[in-house]
Amino acid sequence: MISRGEGGLKDVLFACAKAVEEDDAFRIEWLMSELQAMVSVSGKPIQRLAAYMLEGLVARLASSGSSICMSLRCEEPVAGPDLLSYMHMIYEICPYFKFGYLSANGAIADAMKDEDRIHIIDFMIAQGSQWISLIQALGTRPGGVPRLRITGIDASVSSYARGGSLEIVGKRLAKIAESCNVPSEFSAAMVPASEINFEQLGIRTGEAIAVNFPLMLHHVPDENVCSGNHRDRLIRLSKSLSPRVVTLVEQESNTNAVPFYPRFMETFRYYSAVFDSIDVALPRDHRERVRAEQHCLARDIVNLIACEGMERVERHEPLAKWRSRFMMAGFHPYPLSSSVNATIRDLLLGYCESYMLKEWDGALFLGWMNRPLVSSCAWR
């Protein structure tokens, strides 16, 4: 007799993943049938997470990783603004993105406090939201306002969420810079980060360079996927620019070179904390919350479970591994200032007290309860 409680659901979910790993068709069919009756996208956090993990198992069995969207029950939003609104909802109800933006911006502002010409190279600029607060701070910087140039890198697939090309981001940031009396310039590189080269970065003599890696390096293939190892190549490319600072924000999870079943368990542990943190912010039957989780979290979960090789783009590494990669490239840690720590703590006052902030060896970790979820660090 299978328990229908949370412990029972977890046990059945893990047993099903083990059966998939062992290709035990009889147990797979039985356990998936049980799971179908236990999961719900509008239920408790564990029921919602299990629903998407089950979708991942189904997709893995169907070898549909290359068409990952088809493995989800939800439909594509009809327009870019819909997806953007779901992303904005996650941004507002959880502090993870704000933590990354504020900590990276703090490191850049500190490293650039004496520079009058600044060039920021953003390896995943998305909507450009990160730079609004930095532009505003530069506009009131003691000692004078610098000239600011931003090079935004983003693959064309992101234009769907933006509702257009990177020109939209450039015009938006230009208006904000103008209102803050910050002389600015924006350059766009519509190319996947793994394909970027030195010539596309438009390096100019006399500019102080900051490189920003915002929750994106884990998408870049490394030595576990291809001989090119673009992950380390991008880090070395950044070092060749002699930057004043390089900022790195990443999920604190270990799923890159991990075999299927341990990766499944790590995915469950990590996203259990994420779904718990969302649960305290919005009602379980909140329709937009359901769609936000489907469009912003479910695809990552399914990709982690269903895909292998180049098809699996969610390849997280813990900070210890990132530290090793950066130090092998010749970087040294650039400790985040105490003012950054204080700014993040002020931010968290507006959220549930279950969020935790820890500082370790110059890096900051934001987590839920005792589980670190996002790390932020800087290098030079």
CATH number of the domain bearing residue 373? 3.40.50.150
Note whether residue 79 is domain-resident.
Answer: no
Q: Which of 275, 295, 311 is the last residue of a domain?
A: 311
Note whether residue 229 is domain-resident.
Answer: yes
Residues 330 and 211 both lie in one domain? yes
Note whether residue 85 is domain-resident.
Answer: no
Query: Both ends of the chain: CA-CA distance in Å?
Result: 58
Instruction: Check residue 6 and give its pLDDT.
Output: 63
Which residues touch 124 (CB under 8 Å, ≥6 apart)?
A: 153, 154, 158, 193, 213, 214, 215, 216
Residues 205 and 241 both lie in one domain? yes
Instruction: Check residue 65 and give its pLDDT.
Output: 53
Q: Which of 273, 294, 311 is the last residue of a domain?
A: 311
Strands 363-368 and 371-379: antiparallel
Note whether residue 17 is domain-resident.
Answer: yes
Note whether residue 86 is domain-resident.
Answer: no
User: How many domains does one find in the chain?
Assistant: 2
Indicate the DSSP class of residue 308: -
Instruction: Check residue 3 and give its pLDDT.
Output: 53
Give 330: exposed, middle or buried? Use CB within 10 Å, 0-12, 13-18, 19+: exposed
In the chain, where do the E strands start and end? 117-122, 147-153, 184-189, 208-214, 245-251, 355-360, 363-368, 371-379
d(CA 362, CA 68): 38
pLDDT digits (tens, 9 = 90+) for 331-358: 999 999 899 999 999 999 999 999 999 9
User: How much is the average pLDDT of 142-168?
Assistant: 79
Instruction: Check residue 373 and give its pLDDT.
Output: 98
Note whether residue 191 is domain-resident.
Answer: yes
pLDDT at 184 over 80: yes
Residue pair 9/47 in contact by the 8 Å Cβ criterion: yes
CB burial of 103-132 (b: ≥16 within 10 Å; e: otherwise) equals bbbbbbbbbbeebebbbbbbbbbbbbbbbb
* Neighbouring C-alpha atoms within 13 Å toward the C-beta of 310: 6
User: How much is the average pLDDT of 150-163?
Assistant: 69
Note whether residue 81 is domain-resident.
Answer: no
Q: Which of 256-265, 289-298, 364-373 has the lowest mean pLDDT?
A: 289-298
Instruction: Report the chain's mean pLDDT, rounded to a whole number.
Output: 91
Instruction: Check residue 79 and give its pLDDT.
Output: 47
pLDDT digits (tens, 9 = 90+) for 266-324: 999 999 999 999 999 988 888 888 888 998 899 999 999 999 999 999 999 999 999 99
Residues 148 and 294 both lie in one domain? no
Residues 173 and 296 both lie in one domain? no
Closest CA to 299 of 146, 109, 72: 72
Domain range for residue 282?
6-73+258-311
Note whether residue 1 is domain-resident.
Answer: no
Residues 239 and 298 both lie in one domain? no
pLDDT at 137 over 90: yes
Residues 25 and 112 both lie in one domain? no
User: How much is the average pLDDT of 357-365?
Assistant: 94
Instruction: Check residue 265 and give its pLDDT.
Output: 98
The pTM (predicted TM-score) of the whole model is 0.93
Residues 247 and 265 both lie in one domain? no
Residues 149 and 266 both lie in one domain? no
CB atoms within 10 A of CB 101: 23
User: How much is the average pLDDT of 245-263?
Assistant: 98
Residues 305 and 326 both lie in one domain? no
Residues 355 and 294 both lie in one domain? no
Residues 263 and 356 both lie in one domain? no
Per-residue tokens: 118:
């600044």
**Which of 62-76, 141-155, 160-174 shows the highest mean pLDDT?**
141-155
Instruction: Check residue 87 and give its pLDDT.
Output: 84
Q: Which of 277, 294, 311 is the last residue of a domain?
A: 311
Residues 325 and 291 both lie in one domain? no
Per-residue tokens: 218:
């884990």
Closest CA to 123 of 104, 136, 102: 104
